[in-house]
Amino acid sequence: MLSVNKSNNLFIRANALIPGAVNSPVRAWKAVGGSPIFIERAQGAHIYDADGNSFVDYVGSYGPAILGHSPLPVVTALTRQLEHGFSYGAPTRLEVELAEKITAAIPAAEKVRLVNSGTEATMTAIRIARAATGRPGIIKFDGCYHGHADALLVRAGSGSMTFGVPDSAGVSEALAAQTRVAQYGSLEAVEGYLSSKPAEIAAVIVEPIAANMGVVPPPPDFLHALYVLTHAHGALLICDEVISGFRLRYGTVSEQAGIRPDLLTLGKIIGGGLPIGAVAGKAELLDLLAPQGPVYQAGTLSGNPLSVTAGIATLNVLEATAPYARLEALAARLENGLKSALQTSGRRGCVNRAGSLLTLFFGLDRVGNGEEARRADTTMFAKFFRAMLERGIYLPPSQFEAMFVSVAHSDEDIDATIAAAHESLQSIGST
């Protein structure tokens, strides 16, 4: 049994002062039982908790840690910047450099505005789309998560799916009614909404690889067909690449799918692990933002020099070292190992993977959308999570969050994870 006394004490202290003891719901472990371990430090592919236990980490801060934790080039750049100030409330050369890197890597990003989180980015994208089209409605996909802005907390993934509250309290019905929901991968409902109310839909927002209901890649050609359909009805397409941007390639998944969304959102990797988000896209749309245009958006810490420095350093490494083939190989090795562990144990399940993002779903042979994901055996996932933790493997504490493989994971880390999965599935079998 893991010794977690110090974490348990921290949980008690946290619980007295912080709602649910955490500052973001999924990390409270309600979906897997018990109270969370509290992290003391992290290095490379490994995290260390308050009790001194070490784990191979597949959370990776839910995406930013593509180079592993505290990679030297990012630490060096941040250390230098620390001596020059943390936040000025004034423009910097660094912001120009990050904007240049993003727009150079992503042709659809003609202009970019930096914000503080993915939530801010999608919220801003929706506001721009409404202003540009003069239409109120949006279409999103069941199980896709675009942060916690009111308009997007409808049939949402991530924590909303984990806790079975896809529609949040506190979001007014009038506002929620402006959000239509379609099944991920299906164009029929989208077409139905767009053609039945031709002048109502401002935008369709989509995760080009869904990664908040577990990992669910779209059917072939879905993104292209969605782009064509959306434009045929005068609506905009917003690709939410907060997780997928720079994760599967140096650029976006939508670009790879051959489309140029009107707007796209970024986050996670472009901040190298520090808080950031970005909305990017067509210049005439971005120019609607204040002070250039009438759409208001602002933030004291937006484009702060620490996040931007970490982002530039991370993108520099990704650009120079092109680690995507290595990430693909590591994640494929893990995928195959998890599949063989399932097979050996006789447990029903499947592994969805897109590049270095993957999810083992229990109780199902395939998962292609939110409805199917919700049918996964979350009780079995919880048992698996706990058995893996005992064996030194830290998985995301929900069936509906992706596992993230980083450049810092070694073949040995992957093989240890596969061995732990075999043992864990055997141990679950006997309970």
Mark residues 117-156: x for contact with ligand HOZ by CB under 6 A, - for none.
Answer: ----------------------------x-----------
Q: Is 250 a catalytic residue?
A: no
Q: Is 240 a catalytic residue?
A: yes
- Give the pairing type, strands 349-354 and 357-362: antiparallel
Q: Is residue 58 near ligand HOZ by the rule CB under 6 A? A: no
Please pick, among 49, 57, 142, 240, the residue that the annotation labels catalytic: 240
Integer Cα distance of 29 and 20 in angstroms: 10
* Nearest distance, CB of residue 402 and ligand HOZ, angstroms: 8
Number of residues near ligand HOZ (by CB under 6 A): 9
Minimum CB distance to ligand HOZ smaller for 55 or for 62? 62
Please pick, among 58, 145, 324, 394, the residue that the annotation labels catalytic: 145
Identify which range of 19-27, 93-101, 327-335, 373-381 contacts ligand HOZ by CB under 6 A: 19-27
Q: How far is CA 261 from the centre of its chain?
A: 18
* Nearest distance, CB of residue 165 and ligand HOZ, angstroms: 13
User: Which residues neighbour 88 within 8 Å (Cβ) at sequence distance 6 or greater?
Assistant: 305
Q: Is residue 27 near ligand HOZ by the rule CB under 6 A? A: yes
Identify which range of 24-32, 125-133, 280-288, 315-323 contacts ligand HOZ by CB under 6 A: 24-32
Identify which range of 22-30, 250-258, 292-300, 307-315 contacts ligand HOZ by CB under 6 A: 22-30
Q: Is 48 a catalytic residue?
A: no
* Nearest distance, CB of residue 20 and ligand HOZ, angstroms: 11
Q: Is residue 401 near ligand HOZ by the rule CB under 6 A? A: yes
Q: Is residue 26 near ligand HOZ by the rule CB under 6 A? A: yes
How is residue 375 written in tokens?
């049918």
* Nearest distance, CB of residue 22 and ligand HOZ, angstroms: 7
* Helix boundaries (H) for 247-361: 253-256, 283-286, 305-321, 324-345
Contact indicator for 63, 404 with CB cutoff of 8 Å: yes
C-alpha dihedral over 62, 64, 68, 70, to 10 degrees?
-120
For 292-428, strand residue ranges (E) read: 349-354, 357-362, 393-394, 403-404
User: Which residues neighbour 9 within 8 Å (Cβ) at sequence distance 6 or greater?
Assistant: none
Burial of 343: CB neighbours in 10 Å, binned 0-12, 13-18, 19+: exposed
Q: How far is CA 344 from the centre of its chain?
A: 31
Minimum CB distance to ligand HOZ smaller for 53 or for 158? 158
Just list the catalytic residues.
145, 240, 268
Which residues contribute to the site for ligand HOZ (CB under 6 A)? 24, 26-27, 62, 145, 158-159, 212, 401
